[in-house]
Structure 1
Amino acid sequence: MTQSAPYCPRRTAKADPRLGQHSLFSEEINQRLAEEVPPEARQSYFTRAMMPAHWLEAMLENQPSYRERDTSLTMNFRNLPASMVTEFVWTLERQVRLGMRIQAQNTSRLAQHVALVLADSRHAQVVSLLDLSRDQWIRAMRKVGARRNKPRSLETIGCLLGRVLDLLVHVYHQGHWWELNVWNPVLDTRIPLREHEPQRHNLSYFSHLTTPWLREAAKWWLSRQLEREVYSWTTVHTRQQNLTWFQRYLDLHDCDGPHLLNDQRQLGNWVTGCKATGSGCSGRSASADRPKASLLGRVNAGAR
């Protein structure tokens, strides 16, 4: 039997993939989400007339071209558990606040697919969208379609489900925000940012730091700097990218660390080699890699 291909971190994930491996649902947090929803949105069925006014601008079906064609605008969550209704409505409110475009028809279709999955006795205990991973939901939806002899393409539904799950995993996560391998300041409001942070849409992927001690040390160090306002998010993002080159240098020299060298006098050559590797591959000047040299010194001093 051939072994499965090793996991390769991708720069497309909007949330730490580990968050989808087990349910994060909490009744207490779910109740808090319900309280955060505006009173006019605390319902399970929406039409254009019944929808909160500030939602309408975000709805694709409410744009002039759609209204000219008399496109209906309804969203139905009536066949879902109350906890899931809360999750759908909260994520809609969150998307509106983030300036995202919402397609009501696909949102209602997603809710319908979820309701059909829940009708199966094997999923009778599912009370949250986070009780299953995105892939598990899609597989279950395909099975339902096959049994009903109504197979349908779920590509659009899968993308929408992924967006909903990405929003939910961050608000349900109860650990420290900096422990995650993907830092997404748009979706994770716990990450401290400047009021007008120009780089807030840039994500930091620590899964690319494959050496465990380096990855965990980098997350702790950069989070402390960010929380104390020593670094801005822009600086944190740059430092994380610099550390990716350092990781490549560690791989090149087959160094497990965290103790890098026995002789401090060899540190200069180590730093020079690391800077040459980074600037050679990226086309940057050596001066742009000074943060890596500074970090190398701190890491080696700590390892001693």
Structure 2
Amino acid sequence: MRLAGRWPNEWTAATLSAPGRRHRPDLAAPAGVAAQWRGPIIGPAIDNWEKITENAKARIKLHGLPETIAAELAWMAHWQALDGTRSSVLATNQMANILRRAIREQHPFPPSIRAMDWDQAAALQRWFYATRWGRLPPHGSIARLRVMFRFARLALLARCHDGHWWDLDEWHPRCDPRIPLTGREPQANYGCSPGQIRHRWLREAAKWHLGTALEAGTLRWSTVSQERVKCLTRFDRWLGTVDDPLQVLGDPANAAAQAAAFRRWDADPANRLLRSNDRRFTDRPVHPRQINDDLRAVGELFAFVADNRGEAHRLLGAEPWSRVTEAHAASWFRQVARVKRTREFNDDHYVDDHAMGQILAALPLLGLPREQQMIITRGDGTQLQANGFDDPQAMRMILMQILTGRRASEIRTCAFDCLTAPPATTVTAPGTEKIARFHYAQSKIDIAPDTILVDREVTEVIGEQQRWVRDKFPDHEPRFLFVHRVGNRTGGKPYPQGTYNWMLREFSDLVQFTDSQGRVIRLSHTHRFRHTRLTRLAELGLPIHVLQRYAGHATPTMSMHYIAAREQHAEQAVLATVKLKADGTRIQFSRDDHDSMHLFDRADRFLPNGWCLLPPLQSCDKGNACLTCSVFATDATHRTVLERQLDNTTTLIDRTTAKFEIRHGSPMPDDNVWLTHRRAEKAALTKLLEALPTDPGRAIQGGGSHAATTGPVPLTLIPITRRTRP
């Protein structure tokens, strides 16, 4: 061991080496690590040290430690600063004190931090507290040391490993940039642990298979980390229940029976639990698709090894994988049950107006500070005064999911600058000037779009969140719109999924939302808001191809799976096709009703004082001369408008002719073009008003010259040149 006073001038490859590990040769001088980060005292020469560390002016003291361990601790502290977290000064100094005491008292400890797992570090900490103070370490000290042995140690293991990245037992893209991520997975803030697979022969094969699939692009990180590793871990647990685990690679004739046995074991909810806090899910039946996923994962592993027998022999050894054949994989695939993919439409995932009103009324409680209180109304009608949850980000995220119908991951990891101006061809109605294009984090379907148009409500929520982030990180340019609140000094990490689910689960348990039928609505199941949004758009008559584009789906079939068959809407749609009176009897349509229905298809045929009976294919060249037009029609319902128009026209003629006479000294000539048209309008209005009382139940056409129903009016149609296909 190297003691105090013998700190090396440079970090050599031997300094960061440990027995039994392969290490990369480029570690002689780790890139980006300046001399002031190499100890033995770290802190005085580093700019903005108070902002980098968690303990203001405290320094990291690495004197008196073995050369390898001192270099590792310094590198971990520097990595924490680059990662955006705060360097663990207290935890690093405590570990240094523990090791210095162990050296003095000749207490054994691993030769490096990489060779020291968390159990060994915790045991050293307990020994240190017991021998020095005669007690166990407090919870705060354990938690600080635990932080240092999580991401920083994983990053150290990845940095010093020169083999394939999938050789390691812990995978985390945050700690190992070699893990391939797709362009739609810019930040994977979660990892997985294939090292939990206890059977070594299975663990090494699983790491090789999944790592190769990631590098080839046949699987993506979200699938591997959140599904496949768990599937193979459950398979490993089942192997622990059989007498000889290697029998699954034995006689292919027995493979079908073994796959069936695993299927029966996997159908028990208690056998599928991978964590002790998941016991609350044991009362739920296992869906056949979940069992099929586990069977496919095992079958694909067997098929991969059988197809790459030579590479498997080199990487995994001759035994036991030399026994596996394609027949093993086929037997496991045949156990996959046929599950009906087209489900019956229902409203199980639809949030009705009753529940939505409760949710929107209680949402401010999520963003309220913890020291403030708010009176909320639960689903059962009782009122409760509750403390705030102090999480305005969760409040805005769930609100954006409700307003846009996006997935939780698409909102949670969207970019900070996610709004752009809509295309110039977009036509906006009055009052919708704040329409913008929203770029969400589409990470599920590569060929699907990743933008939608959003209205003023969504843009204001995004603007409020952007201001909140800028206030929290004034010295950094944020990368994500919703950010991690702890361990995120530079604002480069997105809001974690686990925190979001936990916050919504606690919020739902407190408020206890219910729908109109008394069913409990849990906000942690945020996908139901996607179903609700798409259902409402479909009920508004949105075409299926437009609905598919808005949903970001690759096929219209998938979009239809999100539409809830609400009984209430079905009844309303049927009643909308039948015109009923207040007493429930049918309305008898007249000829005038049918004429109005046809005119309704042409909004430009409705005039302020009547209707235009010009056929749709005929264009009008009369300008604003409808009163003297033969196809103009009106009735007694427009009497007030016509009388007002007659008074205004008469006043206009008198005023204009008087001004003309004052200006020119003579009356306006009778052949004046303007005066001729105005007098014609006045005469037509007078004639219309005189004709209306004589037949109040009929419409008058053509300036009152004849009734609208006296017969067809001869018109000259403009010939239309139709384009023919070649």
- Same-fold status (TM-score > 0.5): yes
Q: What secondary structure is seen at the aligned counterpart in 2 of 1:110?
A: helix
- Counterpart of 1:201 (choices 179, 185, 190) is 190
- Counterpart of 1:101 (choices 66, 78, 86) is 86
**Deviation digits for residues 130-158 of structure 1 (CA, Å, limit 9, x no counterpart):** 576666666667777777x6557556265
Report the TM-score when normalising by structure 2: 0.31
Alpha-carbon separation, structure 2, partners of 1:181 and 1:131: 13
- Counterpart of 2:234 (choices 235, 245, 259) is 245
- Counterpart of 1:89 (choices 52, 74, 90) is 74
* CA-atom RMSD in angstroms: 4.2
- Counterpart of 2:37 (choices 31, 35, 41) is 41
Alpha-carbon separation, structure 1, partners of 2:174 and 2:194: 14
Residues 177 and 190 of structure 1 are in contact (CA less than 8 Å); yes or no, is this contact kept in structure 2? Answer: yes
Alpha-carbon separation, structure 2, partners of 1:131 and 1:118: 17
Q: What secondary structure is seen at the aligned counterpart in 2 of 1:52?
A: coil
Unpaired segments ≥5 residues, structure 2: 1-17, 273-284, 307-323, 326-726
Counterpart of 2:84 in structure 1: which amino acid?
A: G
Q: What secondary structure is seen at the aligned counterpart in 1 of 2:246?
A: coil
Unpaired segments ≥5 residues, structure 1: 1-20, 63-71
**Identical columns (%):** 21
Partner of 2:180: 192
Q: What secondary structure is seen at the aligned counterpart in 2 of 1:173?
A: coil
Alpha-carbon separation, structure 2, partners of 1:99 and 1:242: 33
Counting matched residue pairs gives 267
**Deviation digits for residues 191-231 of structure 1 (CA, Å, limit 9, x no counterpart):** 323463565423223433x4444333222111100111221
Partner of 2:292: 290
Measured after TM superposition, the shift of residue 108 of structure 1 is 2.7
Is residue 57 of structure 2 the alignment partner of residue 60 of structure 1?
Answer: no
Alpha-carbon separation, structure 1, partners of 2:130 and 2:111: 24
Alpha-carbon separation, structure 2, partners of 1:275 and 1:81: 52
Partner of 2:359: none
Partner of 2:165: 177
Q: What is the correspondence of 1:134-173 to structure 2 with a 5 Å cutoff?
A: 154=137, 156=141, 158-159=145-146, 162-163=149-150, 165-173=153-161
Alpha-carbon separation, structure 2, partners of 1:182 and 1:74: 30
Residues 59 and 101 of structure 1 are in contact (CA less than 8 Å); yes or no, is this contact kept in structure 2? Answer: yes
- Counterpart of 1:256 (choices 246, 265, 286) is 246
Greater RCO between the two (CA within 8 Å, min separation 6)? 1
Counterpart of 2:234 in structure 1: which amino acid?
A: W
Higher alpha-carbon deviation: 224-233 or 283-292: 283-292
Measured after TM superposition, the shift of residue 40 of structure 1 is 4.6
Higher alpha-carbon deviation: 216-225 or 85-94: 85-94
Counterpart of 1:60 in structure 2: which amino acid?
A: E
Residues 129 and 136 of structure 2 are in contact (CA less than 8 Å); yes or no, is this contact kept in structure 1? Answer: no
Is residue 99 of structure 2 the alignment partner of residue 114 of structure 1?
Answer: yes
Q: Which has the higher helix share?
A: 1
Alpha-carbon separation, structure 2, partners of 1:218 and 1:152: 43
TM-aligned CA distance change 1:154 to 1:232, over 3 Å: same
**Deviation digits for residues 98-139 of structure 1 (CA, Å, limit 9, x no counterpart):** 33333424433332333343445788xx97545766666666
Q: What secondary structure is seen at the aligned counterpart in 1 of 2:55?
A: helix
Is residue 204 of structure 2 the alignment partner of residue 219 of structure 1?
Answer: no
Q: What secondary structure is seen at the aligned counterpart in 2 of 1:185?
A: coil
Counterpart of 2:45 in structure 1: which amino acid?
A: M
TM-aligned CA distance change 1:45 to 1:276, over 3 Å: same
Residues 194 and 233 of structure 2 are in contact (CA less than 8 Å); yes or no, is this contact kept in structure 1? Answer: no
**Deviation digits for residues 145-199 of structure 1 (CA, Å, limit 9, x no counterpart):** 777x655755626536634654433333344332333333333343323463565
Measured after TM superposition, the shift of residue 262 of structure 1 is 3.4
Alpha-carbon separation, structure 2, partners of 1:25 and 1:150: 39
Counterpart of 2:230 in structure 1: which amino acid?
A: Q
